């Protein structure tokens, strides 16, 4: 079972890792994942829900006591506004819009004059108000503490008595470090002695003990500054995804019994009609029944140019109607809509961590105790056994402790992937986890489906070849009447080319012949439409057509009438996409298709595909994919790009499955690891570019942090580096790494 909990106010990547690790140690919990985007915690567990809330609350408060924890179980709709420091709202049934305190966000808010009951999680007003206050307190404490410290520090350069300067510096230290110190003591009580709060408290207390008062307060000042910058960085990353998350619809205007009523999108059923006015979000997927408009798809596709839609067009939830009023017939419930699927992908992305993230978490778990023990040995062994000065070696010990904190890595690495996923989402590229973003860096082979991926998937009649003595219009009419009962794209293209109304009452005994075509009785005449195999099977003499495309042969009462050639257009940017992939270092491109060999080879040659395999059934594609994977080097990966329902098994089997286009099949989107919201293959190059840039930033941070740590640890051990250098070796490099991580969001 999966359970989700709100963790309002949780912004620390390091604390998130610790919370996840603590919960994973609980018997019955198989996985725990904190999502800093949505400020939620998701558990996979066998435990019952009544036990979980207390377990989750304890684990969270062990690391972040000010974070509010509440269960999202049975909440109908949860919406989080990420542009406002975790401001969010929940709806439990019918919420009251008249509430002045929470603006209708809570059904039972304490401040609402109409509420009769108060739910436990809202007992102390709404959590977002408390979070805003927490942010203000953090900022105010940093400013006040820094100002007081500046006064005390300046006085140390004058002849002012230490009895005056020391209380000022201690006051600044307490203001800046009270939460760190209290957290350290709570950790000690719980047996957790190697976290950053403990290290900061121990090292600064040691600095006071050896008389380095300004340095001790400075360590706490810059540590808090680093925490504040980290919080700002998380918020900026969260805002990078906020536009995407804004696709969540608030309500739907549905036509019922001659009236238009406003309801929750969850309450609208398939087949009902909704009205969307200019400026409103489209709440559910559907087909336009009446009206025309321009719709803004930026939140879904990353494309800024509005799209023109009119009656008969399909529209997606999350888009914004810009001009005319639209009457839309709903084709999917909210739970199955595009907006819901996208939100679900974003909200679950945190559960899939990149190997580098997992490595850093494991590394810090061993690194910190080793360095702390080394610091203690450094402070004790030389004076105890070699006659060294206790004060000097204890000073080196405390410097060592300050430098040893691994927070620069455990904060900046998740932030880098966080930023990479946010940057991709703004381009209309949805990545389901940082592991897939990292995997793109090692992808060596790209395998493509043809129809709907490299080609438009829109079949069009390109040639009509009647037999001798047969009128071209007669041939097309006969074929259209026979094909009008089919939903196959090829059949639809024939009917579309005919362009006239068809009386279906004259069509009888319609039958689809698998792998061959169709047979039907039209106006008491036996019609056959299909491939050459159908003509051979029915022993009909026909003239073979060598056109490039799908050829339909038509016969009436066993007499050959002629053939119709249908072709699928190549997408305008398919060739560009293949060229860009080659420039990006992809060594092989492959196309898999069920189409005939001649068509497949022509298209692959025109686009520039390296290898082409045609006339494949869905299972054949999966088998071919496995063979291609076996040819890869051990450190290389294979990506498959497709869009149809038949592609779902292959998407799931690939190292990286990429679904093309939000209008692709639901099965393909759910099976894919990355979803391109438009049908442009060239977005693959953008995805790889973002993945490589993210990896570059991650590598830079790892190398810089480890190099600086090692350098200052050595300098500290030899007594060359003091507390000020230690501050830079810890907090300074953390700030630099965090700011470096944020470059991803500014990448053009």
- Residue 721 maps to a domain: yes
Does 50 participate in catalysis according to the annotation?
no
Residues 278, 320 contacting (CB under 8 angstroms): no
Q: Which of 362, 457, 450, 473 is nearest to 410 (CA)?
A: 362
Is the pLDDT at 170 greater than 90? The verdict is: yes
245 in any annotated domain: no
Residue 641: pLDDT band with limits 50, 70, 90: very high
**Within 10 Å of residue 536's Cβ, how many Cβ atoms?**
12
Q: Based on the domain organization, do 325 and 357 belong to the same domain?
A: no
Q: What is the pLDDT of residues 196-247, one digit of tens each?
A: 777 788 878 888 887 888 888 988 888 888 778 877 777 776 666 655 556 6
Task: Indicate if the pLDDT at residue 289 is higher than 80.
Answer: yes
Pairing of strands 674-676, 656-660: parallel
Confidence of residue 9 (pLDDT cuts 50, 70, 90): confident
- The verdict on residue 208 lying in a domain is yes
Whether 582 shows a pLDDT value over 70: the answer reads: yes
User: Which tokens in the block code for residue 186?
Assistant: 């709570």
The mean pLDDT of 103-124, rounded to a whole number, is 38
Same domain, 399 and 307: no
pLDDT tens per residue, range 239-268: 666 555 566 778 899 999 889 999 989 899
Residue 340 lies in a domain: no
The SS3 of residue 258 is coil
Residue 262 lies in a domain: no
What the block records as the tokens of 389 is 């000065």
* Cα–Cα distance, 158 to 151 (Å, whole number): 11
**pLDDT at 410 exceeding the cut of 80:** no
User: Over pLDDT 70: what percentage of the chain?
Assistant: 86
Q: What angle do CA 475, 480, 483 make, to 5 degrees?
A: 125
Note whether 12 and 119 are same-domain residues. yes
Q: With contact defined as beta carbons under 8 Å apart, do 85 and 69 qualify?
A: no
Which 3 state secondary structure label does DSSP give 96?
Answer: coil
For the chain, the domain total comes to 5
Cα–Cα distance for residue pair 196/410, rounded to 1 Å: 11
On whether both 51 and 172 belong to a single domain, the answer is no
In whole angstroms, give the CA distance from residue 363 to residue 44: 25
**Whose CA is closest to 685, among 579, 595, 599, 602?**
579
Shared-domain flag, residues 480 and 543 = yes
Which of 449, 647, 655, 673 is an active site residue?
Answer: 449
Residue 308 three-state SS: strand
The reply to whether 339 falls in a domain is no
Give a yes or no: residue 251 inside a domain: no
CB 39 within 8 A of CB 92: no
Question: Three-state SS across 573-626?
Answer: CHHHHHHHHHHCCCCEEEEECCCCHHHHHHHHHHHCCCEEECCCCHHHHHHHHH
Q: State the pLDDT at residue 586.
A: 94
pLDDT category at 49 given cuts 50, 70, 90 is confident
Query: Is 428 inside any structural domain?
Result: no
Position with higher pLDDT, 520 vs 188: 520
Query: Is the same domain home to 112 and 43?
Result: yes
* Structural domain for 527, as ranges: 456-569
**Alpha-carbon Rg for the chain in angstroms:** 32
Average pLDDT score over the chain: 82
For residue 470 the two structure tokens come to 């047969």
How is 361-412 classified by DSSP, letter by letter? HHHHHHHHHHHHHHHHHHHHHHHHHS---HHHHHHHHHHHHHHH--HHHHHH
Q: Quick one: 198 and 169 in the same domain?
A: yes
CB contact at 8 A, 43 and 52: yes
**CA–CA separation, 136 and 130 (whole Å):** 10
Note the pLDDT tens digit of each residue in 302-320: 666 788 899 998 888 888 8
The pLDDT-based confidence of 83 (bands split at 50, 70, 90) is very low
Say how far apart CA 667 and CA 651 lie, in whole Å.
10
Domain boundary among 539, 569, 599: 569
Average of pLDDT values for 137-145?
87
pTM over 0.85: no
């Amino acid at each position: 079972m999966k359970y989700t909990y709100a963790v309002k106010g949780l912004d620390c990547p390091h604390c998130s890792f610790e919370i996840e690790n603590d919960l994973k140690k609980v018997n019955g919990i198989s996985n725990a994942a904190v999502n800093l985007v949505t400020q939620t915690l998701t558990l996979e567990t066998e435990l019952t829900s009544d036990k979980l809330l207390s377990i989750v609350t304890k684990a969270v408060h062990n690391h972040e006591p000010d974070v509010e924890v509440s269960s999202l179980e049975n909440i109908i709709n949860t919406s989080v506004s990420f542009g406002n420091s975790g401001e969010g709202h929940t709806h439990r049934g019918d919420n009251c819009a008249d509430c002045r305190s929470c603006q209708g966000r809570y059904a039972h808010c304490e401040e609402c004059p109409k509420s009769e009951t108060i739910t436990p999680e809202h007992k102390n007003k709404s959590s977002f108000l408390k979070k805003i206050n927490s942010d203000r307190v953090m900022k105010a404490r940093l400013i006040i503490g820094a100002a007081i410290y500046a006064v005390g520090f300046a006085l140390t350069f004058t002849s002012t008595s230490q009895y005056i300067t020391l209380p000022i510096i201690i006051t600044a230290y307490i203001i800046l470090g009270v939460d760190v110190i209290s957290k350290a003591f709570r950790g000690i009580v719980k047996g957790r002695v190697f976290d950053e709060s403990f290290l900061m408290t121990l090292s600064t207390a040691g600095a006071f003990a050896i008389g380095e008062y300004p340095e001790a307060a400075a360590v706490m000042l810059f540590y808090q500054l680093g925490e504040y910058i980290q919080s700002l960085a998380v918020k900026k990353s969260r805002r990078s995804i906020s536009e995407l998350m804004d696709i969540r619809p608030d309500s739907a205007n549905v036509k019922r019994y001659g009236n238009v009523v406003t309801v929750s999108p969850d309450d609208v059923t398939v087949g009902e009609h909704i009205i969307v006015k200019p400026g409103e979000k489209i709440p559910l997927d559907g087909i336009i029944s009446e009206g025309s408009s321009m719709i803004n798809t930026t939140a879904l596709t990353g494309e800024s140019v509005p799209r023109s839609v009119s009656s008969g067009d399909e529209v997606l939830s999350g888009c914004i109607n810009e001009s005319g009023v639209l009457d839309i017939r709903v084709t999917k419930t909210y739970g199955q809509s595009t907006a819901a699927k996208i939100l679900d992908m974003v909200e679950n992305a945190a559960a899939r961590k990149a190997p580098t993230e997992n490595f850093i978490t494991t590394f810090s778990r061993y690194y910190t105790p080793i360095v702390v023990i080394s610091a203690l040995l450094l402070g004790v062994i030389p004076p105890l056994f070699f006659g060294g000065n206790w004060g000097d070696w204890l000073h080196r010990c405390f410097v060592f402790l300050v430098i040893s904190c691994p927070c620069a890595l455990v904060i900046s690495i998740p932030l880098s992937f966080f930023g990479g996923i946010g940057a991709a989402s703004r381009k209309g590229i949805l990545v389901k986890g940082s592991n897939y973003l990292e995997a793109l860096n090692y992808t060596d082979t790209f395998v493509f489906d043809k129809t709907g991926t490299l080609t438009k998937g829109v079949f069009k009649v390109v040639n009509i070849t009647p037999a001798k003595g047969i009128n071209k219009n007669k041939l097309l009419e006969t074929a259209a009447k026979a094909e009008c009962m089919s939903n196959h794209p090829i059949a639809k293209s024939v009917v579309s080319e005919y362009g006239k109304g068809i009386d279906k009452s004259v069509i009888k005994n319609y039958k689809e012949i698998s792998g061959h075509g169709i047979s039907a009785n039209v106006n008491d005449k036996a019609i056959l439409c299909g491939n050459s195999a159908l003509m051979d099977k029915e022993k009909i003499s026909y003239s073979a057509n060598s056109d490039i495309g799908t050829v339909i042969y038509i016969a009436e009462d066993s007499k050959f009438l002629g053939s119709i050639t249908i072709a699928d257009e190549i997408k305008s940017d398919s060739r560009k996409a293949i060229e860009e992939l080659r420039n990006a270092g992809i060594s092989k491109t492959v196309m898999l298709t069920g189409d005939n060999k001649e068509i497949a080879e022509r298209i692959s040659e025109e686009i520039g595909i390296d290898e082409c395999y045609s006339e494949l059934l869905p299972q054949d594609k999966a088998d071919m994919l496995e063979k291609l994977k076996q040819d890869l080097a051990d450190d290389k990966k294979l990506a498959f790009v497709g869009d149809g329902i038949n592609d779902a098994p292959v998407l799931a089997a690939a190292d990286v499955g990429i679904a093309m286009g939000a209008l692709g099949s639901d099965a393909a989107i759910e099976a894919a690891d990355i979803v391109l919201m438009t049908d442009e293959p060239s977005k693959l190059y953008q995805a790889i570019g973002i993945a490589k840039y993210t990896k570059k930033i991650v590598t830079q941070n790892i190398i810089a942090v480890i190099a600086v740590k090692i350098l200052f640890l050595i300098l500290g051990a030899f007594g060359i580096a003091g507390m000020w250098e230690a501050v830079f070796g810890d907090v300074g490099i953390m700030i630099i790494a965090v700011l470096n991580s944020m470059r991803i969001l500014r990448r053009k």
